[in-house]
Amino acid sequence: MLRFAETQIAGAFLVETDEYRDERGGFSRLYCPEEFKRAGIDFSSTQINLSANPHRHTLRGLHFQPEPHAEAKFVRCLNGAIHDVIVDLRPESSSYLGHQAFELSRENRLGLFVPEGCAHGFLTLREDCDILYQMSRVYEPGYAAGYRYDDPAFAIAWPAPPAVIAQADLDWPAFAP
């Protein structure tokens, strides 16, 4: 059973997941298209990606795919803990240019649904963080886009500076409306 909570970003949801425990360990439902539909969320996944991050304070983001390949994603932290941030890039949205941060961890089993039109990034808070993404659209390499994690237009307060970050994520252009 999944429970969906609205966030400050229009159309983004934090998803709580129960864990059934017994002497063997635990069992959790990670995704159910029917439950998404009942919550009013139009999402079904195509590609499923795993991001493995051995180091604490690894930063990935802020990433999105623009139209006509805009993608929604459902993000989970299977191991470790991350500070996960979404930024609303939809001019027509009530939360345009707003951002919100969430802690996703193995222990809290929270999932984050990121709607189309939002940039997404995370900072690992521990070693060995494994992040699973379900994507609504297939990856289009020519449409990979992003902004810097420290773009002043968003003023995101990260809990720590990145210790590991790809050069590509330092080279994104400054946000210009």
Ligand X SMILES: Cc1cn([C@H]2C[C@H](O)[C@@H](COP(=O)(O)OP(=O)(O)O[C@H]3O[C@@H](C)C(=O)[C@@H](O)[C@H]3O)O2)c(=O)[nH]c1=O
| Active site residue ranges | 63, 133
Q: Interaction with ligand X in 94-153: which residues (CB under 6 A)?
A: 120-122, 133, 139, 144
Phi-psi region of 155 (alpha: psi -120 to 50; beta: other; left: phi over 0): left
Exactly one of 57, 73, 76, 99 binds ligand X (CB under 6 A); that residue is: 73
- Selected range binding ligand X among 3-11, 44-52, 87-95, 100-108, rule: CB under 6 A: 44-52
Cα–Cα distance between 22 and 151 in angstroms, integer?
A: 46
- Selected range binding ligand X among 17-25, 56-64, 88-96, 149-157, rule: CB under 6 A: 56-64
Q: Where do we find the tokens 């990034």? A: 121
Q: Which two tokens stand for residue 137?
A: 């659209």
| Closer Cβ to ligand X, 1 or 48, answer by number | 48
How far lies 119's CA from each of 24, 29, 35, 124, in Å? 39, 26, 24, 17
Exactly one of 30, 45, 56, 63 binds ligand X (CB under 6 A); that residue is: 63
| Closer Cβ to ligand X, 113 or 122, answer by number | 122
Residues with Cβ within 8 Å of residue 108, at least 6 apart in sequence? none
